[in-house]
Amino acid sequence: MKSASPFIISQSDKRPIYLQIIGQVKRYIAVGNWVEGDPLPSIRQLAADLQVSVITVKRAYLELEREGVIVTHHGKGSQVAPKQDLAEELQQKELVQYLELAVRLALQLGIDEKELERRLRETMERLDERERV
Protein backbone atom coordinates (compact mmCIF):
# COMPACT_ATOMS: atom_id res chain seq x y z
CA MET A 1 0.00 0.00 0.00
CA LYS A 2 1.19 3.53 -0.71
CA SER A 3 2.66 5.36 2.25
CA ALA A 4 0.73 8.38 3.46
CA SER A 5 4.00 10.22 4.04
CA PRO A 6 4.00 12.05 0.69
CA PHE A 7 0.80 13.87 1.66
CA ILE A 8 1.33 17.32 3.11
CA ILE A 9 -1.56 19.29 4.53
CA SER A 10 -0.97 23.01 4.78
CA GLN A 11 -2.88 25.06 7.33
CA SER A 12 -1.96 28.18 5.35
CA ASP A 13 -3.56 26.77 2.17
CA LYS A 14 -6.97 28.38 1.79
CA ARG A 15 -8.40 25.25 0.16
CA PRO A 16 -10.26 22.80 2.38
CA ILE A 17 -8.22 19.75 3.44
CA TYR A 18 -10.20 17.36 1.24
CA LEU A 19 -9.33 19.48 -1.82
CA GLN A 20 -5.65 19.43 -0.83
CA ILE A 21 -5.81 15.62 -0.68
CA ILE A 22 -7.54 15.46 -4.07
CA GLY A 23 -4.92 17.76 -5.59
CA GLN A 24 -2.04 15.72 -4.25
CA VAL A 25 -3.47 12.39 -5.44
CA LYS A 26 -3.96 13.87 -8.91
CA ARG A 27 -0.43 15.29 -8.87
CA TYR A 28 1.11 11.89 -8.00
CA ILE A 29 -0.78 10.32 -10.89
CA ALA A 30 -0.07 13.16 -13.33
CA VAL A 31 3.68 12.99 -12.77
CA GLY A 32 3.71 9.20 -12.95
CA ASN A 33 4.52 8.44 -9.30
CA TRP A 34 1.30 6.44 -9.10
CA VAL A 35 0.05 4.39 -12.01
CA GLU A 36 -2.99 2.31 -12.83
CA GLY A 37 -3.71 -0.22 -10.11
CA ASP A 38 -1.46 1.32 -7.47
CA PRO A 39 -3.21 1.19 -4.09
CA LEU A 40 -3.91 4.34 -2.11
CA PRO A 41 -3.60 4.46 1.67
CA SER A 42 -6.76 3.32 3.42
CA ILE A 43 -9.14 6.08 4.42
CA ARG A 44 -8.57 5.37 8.12
CA GLN A 45 -4.79 5.18 7.79
CA LEU A 46 -4.54 8.40 5.81
CA ALA A 47 -6.83 10.19 8.26
CA ALA A 48 -4.65 9.03 11.17
CA ASP A 49 -1.41 9.95 9.38
CA LEU A 50 -2.68 13.43 8.52
CA GLN A 51 -4.48 13.85 11.83
CA VAL A 52 -7.72 14.75 10.09
CA SER A 53 -11.24 13.36 10.22
CA VAL A 54 -12.04 10.09 8.46
CA ILE A 55 -14.97 11.99 6.92
CA THR A 56 -12.54 14.46 5.32
CA VAL A 57 -10.50 11.72 3.65
CA LYS A 58 -13.63 9.83 2.66
CA ARG A 59 -14.99 12.98 0.98
CA ALA A 60 -11.75 13.34 -1.00
CA TYR A 61 -11.80 9.68 -2.07
CA LEU A 62 -15.49 9.85 -3.06
CA GLU A 63 -14.80 12.89 -5.23
CA LEU A 64 -11.78 11.20 -6.82
CA GLU A 65 -13.91 8.14 -7.51
CA ARG A 66 -16.70 10.29 -8.99
CA GLU A 67 -14.14 11.87 -11.33
CA GLY A 68 -12.86 8.44 -12.37
CA VAL A 69 -9.40 9.01 -10.92
CA ILE A 70 -9.61 6.12 -8.44
CA VAL A 71 -11.74 3.03 -7.97
CA THR A 72 -12.77 1.55 -4.64
CA HIS A 73 -13.57 -2.09 -4.01
CA HIS A 74 -15.39 -2.82 -0.77
CA GLY A 75 -13.01 -4.59 1.58
CA LYS A 76 -10.03 -4.12 -0.75
CA GLY A 77 -9.53 -0.37 -0.62
CA SER A 78 -8.93 2.22 -3.29
CA GLN A 79 -6.50 2.23 -6.18
CA VAL A 80 -5.61 4.32 -9.21
CA ALA A 81 -8.28 3.80 -11.84
CA PRO A 82 -7.53 1.60 -14.84
CA LYS A 83 -8.01 4.38 -17.37
CA GLN A 84 -5.92 4.96 -20.44
CA ASP A 85 -3.98 8.20 -20.42
CA LEU A 86 -5.21 9.27 -16.97
CA ALA A 87 -1.94 11.07 -16.24
CA GLU A 88 -2.14 12.97 -19.54
CA GLU A 89 -5.79 13.86 -18.93
CA LEU A 90 -4.93 15.25 -15.51
CA GLN A 91 -2.03 17.24 -16.96
CA GLN A 92 -4.34 18.65 -19.65
CA LYS A 93 -6.82 19.78 -16.97
CA GLU A 94 -3.99 21.35 -14.99
CA LEU A 95 -2.80 23.19 -18.11
CA VAL A 96 -6.29 24.62 -18.65
CA GLN A 97 -6.34 25.84 -15.04
CA TYR A 98 -2.98 27.59 -15.46
CA LEU A 99 -4.04 29.15 -18.75
CA GLU A 100 -7.25 30.43 -17.16
CA LEU A 101 -5.20 31.90 -14.34
CA ALA A 102 -2.85 33.56 -16.83
CA VAL A 103 -5.77 35.06 -18.76
CA ARG A 104 -7.37 36.40 -15.58
CA LEU A 105 -4.09 37.98 -14.53
CA ALA A 106 -3.57 39.47 -17.98
CA LEU A 107 -7.05 40.98 -17.90
CA GLN A 108 -6.36 42.48 -14.47
CA LEU A 109 -3.16 44.01 -15.84
CA GLY A 110 -4.90 45.34 -18.95
CA ILE A 111 -2.95 43.05 -21.29
CA ASP A 112 -4.87 42.30 -24.48
CA GLU A 113 -5.11 38.98 -26.29
CA LYS A 114 -2.40 39.73 -28.87
CA GLU A 115 0.09 40.82 -26.18
CA LEU A 116 -0.67 37.72 -24.11
CA GLU A 117 -0.16 35.51 -27.18
CA ARG A 118 3.16 37.26 -27.91
CA ARG A 119 4.35 36.70 -24.34
CA LEU A 120 3.28 33.06 -24.44
CA ARG A 121 5.21 32.50 -27.69
CA GLU A 122 8.31 34.19 -26.22
CA THR A 123 8.09 32.04 -23.12
CA MET A 124 7.72 28.87 -25.17
CA GLU A 125 10.68 29.80 -27.37
CA ARG A 126 12.84 30.60 -24.35
CA LEU A 127 11.98 27.31 -22.65
CA ASP A 128 12.41 25.39 -25.91
CA GLU A 129 15.94 26.83 -26.28
CA ARG A 130 16.79 25.68 -22.72
CA GLU A 131 15.51 22.18 -23.49
CA ARG A 132 17.79 21.90 -26.52
CA VAL A 133 20.91 22.89 -24.57
Residues 73 and 90 in one domain: no
Is pLDDT at 88 greater than 90 in this prediction?
no
103 within domain boundaries:
yes
Write down the pTM of the prediction.
0.65
**Nearby residues of 100 by Cβ (< 8 Å), 6 or more positions away:** none
41 within domain boundaries:
yes
- What pLDDT is attached to residue 84? 59
Report pLDDT digits (tens) over 60-70.
999 999 999 99
Residues 90 and 76 in one domain: no
Domain carrying residue 55:
17-80
With the CA atoms of 84, 86, 92 and 98 taken in that order, what torsion angle do they form, in degrees rounded to the nearest 10?
180
